Structure 1
């Protein structure tokens, strides 16, 4: 028997009115000055508001036939709550003329009880404000990359009611939220800890009925009942649940992402007053010196940075998220970093289902004014309560790059000095605010690792550092690509966990012509710089892209360079697996709008060639070399070590071939071997060739890996030889060893 819960969707056509200033809920009747739009949406999706930023008034009238003609008093058994699941950025709702109070924060659902004012005919007015950030080095809005980023159209403003609006009908006790966490798990029993927030109309005894139903595996439905006493008003209850025969949640490359549908019902006198249903996975995640462990098992993170699914995040669907996650899985990725924002709810559900972990950034990106700290504390707690039930969410990071950045294209000396100072000397954002937010989230969660901020380089005696970002070969502030490896040889702790590196490239021609001219002579380069994130001068520093004679040649040129950059980093980080590297996350996965960017998949989800190259470089069983030099002269000796690494948690019998090929396609040396590759092993040297080229030209080292459970891999490295005194060539086979 139940009187509740019941939900009335208030999505659909709303009226919109742009205004200069708000009028405390008093606005003219609906007439031709009001616009109409389907909600949820961003107001810039309306054809007349494509470049609007500022203040917007929303109005929706609706009928509720079963509502009492006279609003119920406080003793009535039925309650009504108006719930907003997401509004960018400030919102002040009025219900039938009653001011419900101001709310700040784009990702946090918020609700107000409207029982006292409910009627058969109802009117909702919402004042919504989402201004553009003017002071880029002292931002005010906790919107992360949506307000300031070099990978998004700078004229895009996310303002609006972007997630559903609902009227919720309950009994006398409202279940506002529930957070469930894995305390411990064995083969026969799992210990789960919960916190639930209730809002009771009066003090009363209730029954909490938990139901755990398998979603994607065969198993018994388990029900647990608990009796509790609630105080009047808001009241939090915490406790422990014991679940029999637990099935653990794993990433797709380690097992099955087993999920339970968890329902918590609160019963008053045998009647369900309210209920919540959510999906949950039993798992633990830990970082030990930046080496990750899932359910106590060590594993190697391979992933990427995930921007908003779309610059218009309200348009995100489950289907689009599943497409992205399939592409990630096919690229052998087991983690995505939700870069500088909190994503659409569909992403977290899809990641749970697809077995992909998420590094979750709090939406702070670059620098903010000090006044935001109290609100940042509140929203940090809200982030944990919103996302804490998702097994895919592995860890929290409180800030992305809390350093001085206004325009990443600005590489003047004074800008570099300000950036260096904020990175290595002092940043209030990092050293004060982020430290406080880290403590707040550690208290709120208690299970997941919490990273103060990303891109913290270790400084002996001052800080241990966190994850690092490297743009050698792109930003001049870093330097040439060749300068990176000597640095990490000297300071290996710099690569414990790398969460950004890369270079820009153009999308494939078929996608390029959707936002630029097909004739390279007619392309508006300035428009690409201003609206589509193209860093033209920076790209020109590394190669002469302006010499391209066609769009196709430009696409090939830029993607080749992107492949070179990504491969340089990935090969060297895989060589250092667990010594000390625990994870690799290049920048970035896809474009949120049509772009010339660091992505390996464009806005229309067409993979670039750099996607295929990364897929090979992320192969679970990977055969590779690390070239000390890519260019030598005739007669100069070059050692060619051959390494192999296995990320699979099974032994594999493999066969390898290493072939050295001259400029005339003649095989100069060839070695073949078969052996058992240990599970989850670190990189080990299995062969070593030496090249002393007798003639100039381009030589190739071709590495081939085969196995019964291994996708055949052909990995080719080019060695350019310039004219000089002639020498000789030979291949030397070395004994293999496990490091």
Structure 2
């Protein structure tokens, strides 16, 4: 970027930015660990164009590091930077403080210091506070140059905020994940220090009443302590300087892709000072597109498409590579000045879902999924390294699919899913029943979510409202059909509005309007459903029978399994049961504490029961692959706090036995008995079907050996042949003879091929 000429420079003007080589060194040193892959040229590692694209991407993210960033191209005066928001202070709101706190001359010397970004309950003096908190900070900015506009941006504030600058009201925010941008040009045109004041409110919902705040699992993920409130300015606050035309909202979505061509649909909401002709310059994957548009004063919505020839396609990690392309859009005014710009990373692929069977780039993919909540209660301070480790661990356990359950995560989470080839079902944060006045707000936040995330190829499904019909906890293994037949405002009106917004803004992905809604009159379509056999009122062995009777109810099982307690009891047991989502009555009904003299043995029993139930459930659903099951999500990956939950890993990182059970059941090639918990009567001969489940995209020549140890002794049976790609193949039957009641027989299975061996084991008790 060229420095302003001496004629245009004044004492109040922005200082000359450092030369390009210095910028490059600063950018690389501050974020080098998290550089994404670049595929903009054949030589990714050394191409100067590749490095430039990486820097542009980092430029769009660097506001998180607190460093100032000058524009990297185009004539003056455009620059994005994070201001020095120093000396943040906070105080609990009172009527007097609310009236006076925004005044720049207000004396806040007795206020407590607070970090931003953060959740205020992680800060000294506010650990147990609920209600409204007042923030103040010093904002130092340089003078604006002619033709510039200045915007104050909040990347995340939970939950509502009223913003003031030097006593003037700037605007209001609502929604914990949405970005808000306020025009502060007239208020900060001169260089100097200004007082930023923000009133943040995040009151708790009243139990038993319909909700008002759209927060989902951000505030009530399983294991969340009853005292936790993630309120506060939890994402960065920044200043963005633009020219006379600013890009206020931006969306980029891959709507078609094959080996010959990819098509990107782009949408921008432009704010202009006056009527003007502008050029939108789009650069991606070696393609440059220039389109001209006339804009009027105020907001203007512009949509256009860009075609990219011969793209490399993005695939889930089991099917191929994950190339990501830097994308930039510049708004240029007639004199050639770049007035504003946006950067994204995008991957090219198509996705579809019919009868809950996914297709990526036209190929079927069976979804072996896990539900994921916020990686930590303190999501604001979660490190990118921790996120990467978590996603890698999920992938290495055998999952290929993540459901971001009822919340929107940090942006880095989705970047990592793109790079690691994990498919994502992204939920909108609605859980349970809401008041009737939220429809407009919910639609606006749904549109923000699509704008925020639609460029990520890893996201293959949008999800709407979880359990819209009730806030009451689940009490049966299978869904209760009778309660869902009548229409309700949440399911029939709110969900239709929210899903219609997401579907209209992004028709390239399947939108599932709601979850946990059984087929109901008149269409009988239904949605994904949780099936909790082995918990509540029915054993895990009955899931296979249920699936045969009601196949539509298991097309996509979005939750399953039993709950268990953490291994390390750091507090009394009552506290571990008093957390969000704990199903205490079911726990005592299935595994009564009164049966155990020692609490530690009771805890251990809950953990082993969880493992047995999860293995049976996963194997049952994998045996029904595509007939009719399109996929599943198994419980919860990690608990956000100590407590009773379906997590496979305790909040402190301790793996539960259920994790090992899942790893066995998720092997890409798996020999399985069906049903996985067969009935074996005492002194009778049982005939059990043996199948091989092959999730690979190639046929495999296998030898499968079954070793049966029962009342008769040990016998071996063996099969050789071809296991079809991406299919379940029936091999034959085995016979097991039951002994006396309670006596166990074992079946050990081994599948061997040229590039691997896969095992499974069953212990079957006679009844």
State if a TM-score over 0.5 links the two structures: yes
In the other structure, the counterpart of 1:558 is: 606
User: How has the CA–CA distance of structure 1 residues 551 and 353 changed in structure 2, closer, same or farther, with 3 Å as cutoff?
Assistant: farther
Question: Post-superposition shift, 1:316?
Answer: 2.4
- 2:252 aligned to which of 165, 180, 183: 180
After superposition, residues 259-658 of structure 1 pair within 5 angstroms as 259-268=324-333, 269-406=335-472, 422-459=483-520, 461-476=522-537, 479-507=538-566, 509=567, 512-513=568-569, 515-516=570-571, 524-531=572-579, 535-548=583-596, 553-627=601-675, 632-658=680-706
Question: Post-superposition shift, 1:325?
Answer: 0.8
In the other structure, the counterpart of 2:168 is: 98
Question: Post-superposition shift, 1:500?
Answer: 0.7
Show CA shifts across 1:658-687 (max 9, x none): 110137xx8522112232222112x22212
User: How has the CA–CA distance of structure 1 residues 420 and 403 changed in structure 2, closer, same or farther, with 3 Å as cutoff?
Assistant: farther
User: How has the CA–CA distance of structure 1 residues 285 and 629 changed in structure 2, closer, same or farther, with 3 Å as cutoff?
Assistant: closer
Q: Distance in 1 between matches of 2:327 and 2:593?
A: 55
In the other structure, the counterpart of 1:669 is: 715
Question: Post-superposition shift, 1:235?
Answer: 1.3
User: How has the CA–CA distance of structure 1 residues 199 and 102 changed in structure 2, closer, same or farther, with 3 Å as cutoff?
Assistant: same
User: How has the CA–CA distance of structure 1 residues 431 and 89 changed in structure 2, closer, same or farther, with 3 Å as cutoff?
Assistant: same
The answer as to 2:698 corresponding to 1:698 is no
- 1:67 aligned to which of 126, 143, 151: 143
Q: Distance in 2 between matches of 1:158 and 1:132?
A: 10
Show CA shifts across 1:422-467 (max 9, x none): 4333332112211222222221222211111001111364431011
The answer as to 2:181 corresponding to 1:107 is no
- Residues 178 and 196 of structure 1 are in contact (CA less than 8 Å); yes or no, is this contact kept in structure 2? yes
- How much is the aligned-residue C-alpha RMSD, in angstroms? 2.4
**Secondary structure at the residue paired with 1:625?**
strand
User: How has the CA–CA distance of structure 1 residues 439 and 260 changed in structure 2, closer, same or farther, with 3 Å as cutoff?
Assistant: same
Q: Distance in 1 between matches of 2:109 and 2:147?
A: 42
User: How has the CA–CA distance of structure 1 residues 178 and 142 changed in structure 2, closer, same or farther, with 3 Å as cutoff?
Assistant: same
Q: Which runs of 5+ in 2 are unaligned?
A: 1-73
User: How has the CA–CA distance of structure 1 residues 638 and 16 changed in structure 2, closer, same or farther, with 3 Å as cutoff?
Assistant: same
Q: Distance in 1 between matches of 2:676 and 2:697?
A: 31
**Secondary structure at the residue paired with 2:484?**
helix
In the other structure, the counterpart of 1:7 is: 81
Q: Distance in 2 between matches of 1:127 and 1:288?
A: 46
In the other structure, the counterpart of 2:310 is: 245
- 2:158 aligned to which of 70, 76, 88: 88
User: How has the CA–CA distance of structure 1 residues 595 and 715 changed in structure 2, closer, same or farther, with 3 Å as cutoff?
Assistant: same
- 1:134 aligned to which of 181, 206, 213: 206
- Residues 132 and 147 of structure 1 are in contact (CA less than 8 Å); yes or no, is this contact kept in structure 2? no
Q: Distance in 2 between matches of 1:310 and 1:656?
A: 43
Question: Post-superposition shift, 1:41?
Answer: 0.4
- Residues 686 and 735 of structure 2 are in contact (CA less than 8 Å); yes or no, is this contact kept in structure 1? yes
User: How has the CA–CA distance of structure 1 residues 228 and 426 changed in structure 2, closer, same or farther, with 3 Å as cutoff?
Assistant: closer
Q: Distance in 2 between matches of 1:655 and 1:248?
A: 34
Question: Post-superposition shift, 1:545?
Answer: 4.1
**Secondary structure at the residue paired with 1:108?**
coil
- Residues 532 and 594 of structure 1 are in contact (CA less than 8 Å); yes or no, is this contact kept in structure 2? no
In the other structure, the counterpart of 2:115 is: 38
Q: Which runs of 5+ in 1 are unaligned?
A: 214-220, 517-523, 723-739
Q: Mean Cα displacement is larger for which, 131-140 or 479-488? A: 479-488
Show CA shifts across 1:561-605 (max 9, x none): 111211221111111111111011111111122333100122233
Question: Post-superposition shift, 1:485?
Answer: 3.1
**Secondary structure at the residue paired with 1:319?**
helix
In the other structure, the counterpart of 1:726 is: none
The answer as to 2:298 corresponding to 1:233 is yes
- Residues 79 and 169 of structure 1 are in contact (CA less than 8 Å); yes or no, is this contact kept in structure 2? yes
Q: Distance in 1 between matches of 2:573 and 2:352?
A: 46
Q: Distance in 1 between matches of 2:479 and 2:395?
A: 39
Q: Distance in 1 between matches of 2:204 and 2:329?
A: 41
User: How has the CA–CA distance of structure 1 residues 419 and 151 changed in structure 2, closer, same or farther, with 3 Å as cutoff?
Assistant: farther
- Residues 86 and 137 of structure 2 are in contact (CA less than 8 Å); yes or no, is this contact kept in structure 1? no
User: How has the CA–CA distance of structure 1 residues 689 and 12 changed in structure 2, closer, same or farther, with 3 Å as cutoff?
Assistant: farther
**Secondary structure at the residue paired with 1:102?**
strand
**Secondary structure at the residue paired with 1:572?**
helix
In the other structure, the counterpart of 1:725 is: none
Question: Post-superposition shift, 1:35?
Answer: 1.1
- Residues 222 and 640 of structure 2 are in contact (CA less than 8 Å); yes or no, is this contact kept in structure 1? no
Question: Post-superposition shift, 1:129?
Answer: 0.4
User: How has the CA–CA distance of structure 1 residues 688 and 483 changed in structure 2, closer, same or farther, with 3 Å as cutoff?
Assistant: closer
Q: Distance in 2 between matches of 1:371 and 1:276?
A: 34
In the other structure, the counterpart of 1:680 is: 726
**Secondary structure at the residue paired with 2:430?**
coil
